[in-house]
Structure 1
C-alpha cells in the first residue's frame, strides 16, 4: 500500500501504487481498507498528494497515536485540497467502518443543536489511515480522555504582527519557568501555522475550569510583568506586537491541534515538537531555528530525537488552587 511505500512526505520519492488515481484495496494491521484518488493533489503549492498524506500519517503513527488514544477527535477535512472548501467534522460519518471506535458524548452548546455526538477515537493505525483517506488533514483533540478529567494543560501562544515565532519562544520560556515554580513541567511544539503551544501533563483529578483558571492566573501575572510584549486578553485590538497567551484552550469544549498533525496551508507543515534548546536559541535571536516544519522535516526530526512529547503520556501533578 502507499502508506508503506518509500518515504515520500515532503518530496521524497514514493514507491508502490500511489499514482493510480482510482481505488485500491489494502490491508492495514489486519483491517481491509479501500483507498481512493491517491494521486489527487491536496497541497497544490507543493504538489503534495493524498497518497503522500496517507504515507506521512502512517510513518508518523508510532509517535502520533499515543497522543490521540482515548481522545474524542475533531477533524478538519479538505476533500478538494487546501485551496478548496473544508469542513469541521466531529461526528462519525455514516460510512464509518464498524471496527472504528466511536464514543457518544454530550455536546452542550452545539451550533447544530445536538445534545450528543458519536465521536471517532483514533486508537490504531487502520483508523488513522481511514481518516487520511477521507482527507482529514488536521486532527484536533481535547485535553481529556473519554470518561476522565483533563490530563493535559495547554497554552496557546498567538503572535500579533510584527511579533512572530521567535517572540513566542521568549514568552514560552517565561511560562516554562513560572510553571516550574509550581512543580509543573511543560513541553513546546509549533502550531504548524504562525504560533506555538506548550503542553503539560496534569493529574486528571481537577476540572477543566480549575485548569483553565490556573493558566489564566499565570497569563495575567506574566502580562503584568511584561505588558508591552504579552496580553492575556482576547481582544484583537490588543494583540499587535504582543503574544496572546490563550489560556482558554483548557475549556472543556475546546480542542488543540494534535502533535504531528498536518495543517492546511501552502505547504504540508505539521505541528512539530521542539527542544527547549531550540526555543532558547530562537528567543536569543538565532534566526530560523524554530519555524513551521514540513512533513519531511518532522520525519527527519523523529529519526533524530524520537518523540519529544513522550513525557506528556505520563501522569502529572495537580495544579495549584486559586488563592482563597
Structure 2
C-alpha cells in the first residue's frame, strides 16, 4: 500500500517511491518528489492560474510517455479544475494552485506544460515564447547566439526577454507582454523569427521543414498559439537524466562555449536558487510587461 503523507492538511498517497525513473543516474521517484517540494516556492507562481497539460512518464523516459490534457481519472476533489475553451469544444483541465496539488501531480510523474495565457483571459497572451531548437550538428551553443540576437531585437521594441534551458537540447526565450491576443503575439513572434533568419541565414530557420533543419537553429514561434503549451519553468523533463527546464543568466548564455555548460539537473537547482533566486520572477510582475509595437 502506498504511504500516506499530509501536505498542508491534504492527505496524499505517494506511490512507488523507490522506483528508478532516470536509469542513467539512478534518480528515483522519491527524489523527483523531493525536487518538486524543494522548488515549489519558485515553480508554483509560474503554474498558478494556468491550465496544465501533463506529459506523463510513470515508468521513466524509456517507458510509455503520453500527454494528458483533460483532468486525469482519480483527481482529488480538492484539486482546482477549470473549463477551458477549445476549437473542438470546451474541456476541463487541472490548475496547480498550491503545494498539495503540486505534490499530487508530481506523484503522477509528469512534465508540466502551460499556455501563454491565464485561465481568466484565455487567448489573451501575457507571455511571448521562442523555442530555439538546434538541428544536429548545431547545439545549444548556437541557440545561445540566436537568443542574444532575439534579446536585442525584442529590447528595441521595449520588451525584456529572459532565457531558460528547454531541459532537452535547446533554449527558451520568454518575455512578459500585455494587451495582445495570442494570434497577435504569434504574428509578431513569426515576424521576428523571419527577421532572425534574414539576419543569420546560415544559422536560423523559421520553418519546421525537417529537411532544412540540420546545422540550423529552428526558431519555433508557433508555441504562442492559444492552443499550444511550453514546458513550465523548473519542470523536470523525460530524458535519460533528471534535466530541468531551468532559468539561466544572460552572462551564462553569452559565455556558452560547450553544450554541457547549460545542462542543468535537479540537484543543481537548489544551489542556483540560493545564488540567484528566481531569474524569471520579472515575468510575474505586470510592471515588466512590454507592449507589442
Is TM > 0.5 for Structure 1 vs Structure 2?
Answer: yes
Partner of 1:39: 18
Question: Shift in Å at residue 289 of structure 1?
Answer: 7.0
Cα distance in structure 2, aligned partners of 1:317 and 1:176: 13
Cα distance in structure 1, aligned partners of 2:237 and 2:161: 23
Any idea what the Cα deviations from partners look like across 1:262-292, whole Å, max 9, x if unmatched? 001111000010000111111xx3x367422
Cα distance in structure 2, aligned partners of 1:140 and 1:46: 24
Cα distance in structure 2, aligned partners of 1:280 and 1:81: 33
Cα distance in structure 2, aligned partners of 1:288 and 1:55: 27
Cα distance in structure 2, aligned partners of 1:193 and 1:267: 10
Partner of 1:305: 276
Partner of 2:106: 132
Of 272, 279, 292 in structure 1, the residue corresponding to residue 263 of structure 2 is 292
Give the TM-score of the pair, scaled to structure 1: 0.87
Indicate whether 1:58 and 2:66 are aligned.
no
Indicate whether 1:91 and 2:91 are aligned.
no
Give the TM-score of the pair, scaled to structure 2: 0.96
Cα distance in structure 2, aligned partners of 1:288 and 1:243: 14
Residues 199-218 of structure 1 aligned to structure 2 (within 5 Å): 199-203=174-178, 205-218=179-192
Structure 2's unaligned 5+ residue stretches are: none
Any idea what the Cα deviations from partners look like across 1:97-156, whole Å, max 9, x if unmatched? 1110000112224xxxxx2221000010100100111122x0000000002111000000
Structure 1's unaligned 5+ residue stretches are: 1-21, 110-114
Cα distance in structure 2, aligned partners of 1:79 and 1:176: 37
Cα distance in structure 1, aligned partners of 2:134 and 2:177: 26
Any idea what the Cα deviations from partners look like across 1:207-236, whole Å, max 9, x if unmatched? 111001111111111111111111111111
Any idea what the Cα deviations from partners look like across 1:43-83, whole Å, max 9, x if unmatched? 12211111111100010110100000100000011122221
**Superposition RMSD in Å:** 1.2
Bigger radius of gyration: 1
Residues 168-247 of structure 1 aligned to structure 2 (within 5 Å): 168-203=143-178, 205-247=179-221
Cα distance in structure 2, aligned partners of 1:200 and 1:289: 25
Question: Shift in Å at residue 34 of structure 1?
Answer: 1.4
Cα distance in structure 2, aligned partners of 1:142 and 1:201: 13
Per residue, is there more strand in 1 or in 2? Answer: 2
Q: Specify the SS of the correspondent of 1:23.
A: coil
Q: Is the 8 A contact 1:155 1:199 kept in 2?
A: yes
Q: Is the 8 A contact 1:44 1:266 kept in 2?
A: yes
Which range is displaced more, 303-312 or 86-95? Answer: 86-95
Q: Is the 8 A contact 1:272 1:292 kept in 2?
A: no
Indicate whether 1:261 and 2:235 are aligned.
yes
Any idea what the Cα deviations from partners look like across 1:142-184, whole Å, max 9, x if unmatched? 0000021110000000011111011100000000000000000
Partner of 1:4: none
Question: Shift in Å at residue 303 of structure 1?
Answer: 1.6
Cα distance in structure 2, aligned partners of 1:300 and 1:269: 15
